[in-house]
Structure 1
Amino acid sequence: METRVFQQSEIKEAAALIKKGELVSFPTETVYGLGADAMNDQAVKNVYQAKGRPSDNPLIVHVASIGEVYDYVKNVPKVAETLMEHFWPGPLTLIFEVKEGVFADTVTAGLNSVAIRMPKNEATLELIKEAGVPLVGPSANTSGKPSPTTAMHVYHDLKGKIAGILDDGETGVGLESTVLDITDPQQPTILRPGGISKGELEDVIGQVSVDKHLVSSEETPKAPGMKYKHYSPNEPVIIVEGNKELFQKAVKQYGSTGEKVGLLADDEVVEALKDKVAAVFSLGEIDDIHSASRRLYAGLRYFETTEASLILAQAYPEAGIGTAYMNRLKKAAGNQFYKEHN
């Protein structure tokens, strides 16, 4: 299969492929999604196949307007209306009780709920409107690998497996959306941290819970990212909590064992150690968590093109979007942190 890269002037052609049941990757403010008609069961099954994604991992449905939600879910509680008014379009996914028979069965992985969001990207909103159907949109990557933040990342992973990619440059947020379960309107619960922080949500609707439990192998996760290993490059990742001095010790320690170290850190650390490692990728200025979040996946992917055999990655405080950054980095690293040897 030829995979065509579409520009914004070619959205109608990309939408025509969606209507035919084909798969087309689309840009959002978070990461690139793998789009298919959410009401076409075979098209949705093809998404799982193209990604190599487990079929008990539900998909997020992307819509072009708030009004569409009322057609797809059993009820829209007041808290949901408030959240949609404040944060849509934007990086917030809401989980509702789903109406039976609306979406392909594979969208919800057998659950009685569905995750929906309205992305903040004009090209994709136009694509959804032109296609005339809501789109599933898991990250457009091989399952388990770092999510794509450019069209070329998608092309690298899925060339020959999907019909097209709508190119809109690099994504702005760089981490997936926050997933908030509102099936119990009295107890909104974050299932996955993302581009909207717990504090931002609480400023609008009051107290929000956080579900941190690990989904067992027998359970079906209610949202993506709760069960399977995610965001992992080919090389092992070790998280470093500390300043450039601690990075220096880590570089020396792993270098002495023959590892070719890749460094994923802020400008200051990269500048200090770039001549002592095999490869570097900057997360941006020191203390700029938004830059680090935007560049994390691109950085993890970058080292696959270098001779690095191990990646030392910088930790950030778990506050605001730093919570989402650390959530993804811990998954990429298998929760492995650098421990200084005496």
Structure 2
Amino acid sequence: MNTLFSALSETELRDYCHHNIDAFESWVRRLIDELFRIKYGSDYFNYQISDDLPLIKKEMRQRIEQRMSDNPTRFPRKIDAILIEDVMYFLCRDDLYAEHFKNILEPFFSGKEEARKVLERIIPIRNKLSHGNAISYHEAEQCICYTNDFIAVFKHYYDSLGKSREYNVPTFIRIKDCFGNDVIVDSTNQYKIYFTFPLGPKVQLRSGDSYKLWVETDPSFDNTLYEVSWGVTYYGNNIIKKGVGKTIEFAVENKHVSYSPTIIIVLTTNKEWHRHGTFDDSVEIRLEEILPPIEETY
């Protein structure tokens, strides 16, 4: 019995495994999305390699679209709705493996068949966790080891990419809030995200409401190498609240009514130089104007 796992409660053990599976899925979705966008374009889910060979088979596309339709806040992009079974299909399909994943997975894995076997061992453990069934210490150890193996491969790949970048610094990759909004920060919407857009995430606060959001950064960088700071302002530079960390939380009052709060989140590394002069990445979020409280009596 693993002494580390034996010291954990059943809930802690399950949370530990859940966390690792989530981390693995986050890494592999990012990898697949980036590689496919480069090769097949932003609409790669509908790409045809040849007349009789789609990049993504029809039944998979339909299932993914249904998952998005059923839970749009959880799956803001198609790639977010893929399962480990889909990951195995992408990573281990002969043509895709040779074109995209062989040089990344080898020599950490002997080949696509070993990668397939490892993924096949993760799936039943994932299923037990998803359905609330108990897992053994051995299954927990398998889950942690196998997902860590893949994460190490992905980190090595991104580390090697970083060495060839002009600016090898962390960036913001995702924003989630207490209303279920989930925004991917990429090259098309980075730096400024306006939550006032008609088609954007709707954030309408009233005086007395609290608002909370979380930012995610590139996981290939250690958290100790940078700091995230933030500030919430209204009517110019009047400050509602400011702080540090990846969790932003504040409340609005009567004096904020009719104004549109602006949230500015800044990432600054410990380096002596910075990508943008004094900082390395930033996101600006502008909310809807604050409405008055709903009065019970007049």
Larger-gyration structure (1/2): 2
The alignment's TM-score, normalised by the length of structure 1, stands at: 0.25
Bigger relative contact order, structure 1 or 2 (CA pairs below 8 A, ≥6 apart) = 1
